[in-house]
């Protein structure tokens, strides 16, 4: 994986974390049930996106042969 791809994924992770903070602040105000449901869906999808991006970064940056016995 190239350095540019890693940086792009890390930038996306940072963006997702910032969006999560915005949604959490949004939920601090009094909201309707529908608004809370929509916010929870957005927060959940952002957490899934962060996990996926972190997995991509990890999997694409490990050496081809990471087994010390080879």
Largest Cα–Cα distance of the chain, in whole Å?
Answer: 59
Q: Which of 6, 18, 8 has the alpha carbon at shortest distance from 46?
A: 18
Q: Which of 48, 59, 49 has the alpha carbon at shortest distance from 12?
A: 49
Is position 68 within any domain?
A: no
Q: What is the pLDDT of residue 49?
A: 93
Is position 30 within any domain?
A: yes
Average pLDDT over residues 44-63: 87
Is position 55 within any domain?
A: yes
pTM score, two decimals? 0.71
Q: How many domains does the chain have?
A: 1
pLDDT surpasses 60 at 1: no
Alpha helices in 29-64 (DSSP H): 33-61
Average pLDDT over residues 18-27: 92
């Amino acid at each position: 994986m190239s350095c540019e791809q890693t940086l792009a994924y890390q930038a996306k992770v940072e963006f997702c974390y910032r969006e999560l903070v915005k949604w959490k602040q949004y939920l601090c105000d009094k909201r309707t049930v529908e608004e809370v449901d929509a916010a929870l869906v957005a927060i959940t999808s952002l957490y899934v996106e962060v996990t996926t991006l972190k997995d991509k970064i990890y999997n694409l940056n490990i050496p081809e042969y990471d087994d010390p016995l080879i």
